[in-house]
């Protein structure tokens, strides 16, 4: 399984990944940059590394044999609709093995209600790529992610789900006090414990 983690990048050298995490693409600066080796799609924040390890970390992950591809669409602040569109454009132009490809997107996005995202999600779904997004933590009346085919809310220890819109999600997963990999200085073994739909969606 190939999981493309759209986030702040991935600390690919983290011990959780065992060489299965690779830099793939950067769009957070408003242009497409295909990665060629290390030094690209680097996570200076921690959120992307956290989410990647929830997906495929050897001790924290639900799919510990997955190949993890770092798609850096933001650097710690909210992502932009342009960065998301650029990443979709580039990735969908590649010859991806769609039956075993997942786009995992645990991120906030500026430009809520972006109508262009409807066709992007539809096109991706028609191609057979699975797209999973975090349903969000803060109540809003309109969200671009409402158009996503698979929105994940978080649940607490009492199995009570929570999300940006309490009625608008497709599934839920544990999202309270989730421990995973993190970025802390030069450490390749740092961890953090977070709560939210970002911890549930991967």
Q: Mind telling me the catalytic residues?
A: 7, 47, 198
Q: Per residue, what are the HEC states of the chain?
A: CEEEEEECCCCCCCCCCCCCEEEEEECCCCCCEECCCCCCCCCCCCHHHHHHHHHHCCCCCCCCCCEEEEEECCCCCCECHHHHHHHHHHHHCCCCCHHHEEEEECCCECCCCCCHHHHHHHHHHHCCCEEEEECCCCCCCCCHHHHCCCEEEEECCCCCEECCCCCCCCEEEECCCEEEECCCCCCCCCEEEECCHHHHCC
């Amino acid at each position: 399984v190939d999981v493309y983690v759209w986030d702040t990048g991935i600390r690919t050298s983290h011990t959780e990944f065992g060489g299965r995490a690779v830099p793939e693409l950067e769009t957070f600066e408003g242009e497409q940059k295909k990665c060629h080796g290390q030094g690209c799609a680097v996570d200076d924040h921690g959120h992307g590394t956290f989410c990647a390890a929830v997906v495929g970390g050897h001790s924290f992950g639900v799919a510990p044999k997955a190949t993890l591809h770092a798609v850096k669409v933001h650097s710690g602040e909210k992502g932009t609709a342009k960065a998301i569109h650029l990443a979709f454009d580039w990735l969908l132009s590649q010859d991806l093995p769609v039956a075993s490809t997942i786009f995992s997107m645990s991120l906030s996005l500026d430009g809520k209600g972006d109508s262009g995202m409807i066709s992007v999600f539809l096109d991706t779904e028609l191609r057979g790529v699975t797209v999973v997004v975090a349903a969000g933590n803060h109540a809003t009346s309109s969200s671009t992610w409402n158009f996503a085919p698979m929105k994940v809310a978080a649940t607490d220890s009492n199995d009570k789900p929570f999300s940006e819109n309490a009625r608008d999600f497709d599934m839920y997963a544990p999202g309270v006090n989730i421990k995973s990999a993190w970025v802390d200085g030069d450490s390749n073994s740092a961890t953090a414990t977070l709560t939210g739909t970002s911890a549930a969606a991967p």
